[in-house]
Amino acid sequence: MGIRFSLNKILDLLSKHLPSNALRIGCQRAKGVRIGGNVYLAYDVNIDLVCPDLVEIGDNVRIGIGVIILAHHRPSDAWLPYLGQVQERVRIERNAVISAGAIILPGVTVGECAIVREGTVVDKDVAPFSVVIGNPAQVVETLLPDKVPRDLLEQARASP
């Protein structure tokens, strides 16, 4: 493990415990995570340490305490030749909410205005305006886009 990994580990530890949301976000950005504007990261959020550059978080996203976001998976050495290592992009789109203790696995996109409930394990994409819960995640509700203030959606879609 090189200097970059060591630096990322320090940034990761700081980002979990700093009292300021802006500082937590700054540490994650320094690791390589792409984070939009007006994002909230609670304490003890674990964003992939090995492939942080594969994680993208859109504007106005809220991420609760103890959330884990993984962009890679590596089996034991015995299984590596058969299963291989997985490294896949994770996207959390605008206005999504990832509630406390949820786990987002590699290759997942959480759609715009979707809600991932507490403790949910997300192994497949979550459609926009959906509410998911459970292990594995199951859609329990589809939210109506017309309930979201129009100016909020237009503003979010207009920003790059």
In this predicted structure, what is the pLDDT of residue 4?
A: 81
Q: Please, how many CA atoms are within 13 Å of residue 143, restricted to the half-sphere of its CB?
A: 21
Per-residue pLDDT of the chain (160 residues; tens, 9 = 90+): 688 888 888 898 889 889 999 999 999 999 999 999 999 999 999 999 999 999 999 999 999 999 999 999 988 888 888 888 889 999 999 999 999 999 999 999 999 999 999 999 999 999 999 999 999 999 999 887 777 766 666 665 565 5
For residue 44, what are the domain limits? 3-158
In this predicted structure, what is the pLDDT of residue 131?
A: 97
In this predicted structure, what is the pLDDT of residue 154?
A: 64
CATH of the domain at 56: 2.160.10.10
Neighbouring CB atoms inside 10 A of 51's CB total 19
CA distances from 108 to 8, 49, 79 (A): 23, 17, 23
In this predicted structure, what is the pLDDT of residue 135?
A: 95
In this predicted structure, what is the pLDDT of residue 3?
A: 86
Tokens of 50: 């090995």
Number of domains in the chain: 1
Q: Is the peptide bond before 75 cis (omega within 30 degrees of 0)?
A: no
pTM: 0.88
- Helix then strand then coil, in percent of the chain rounded to 5, is 30, 25, 45
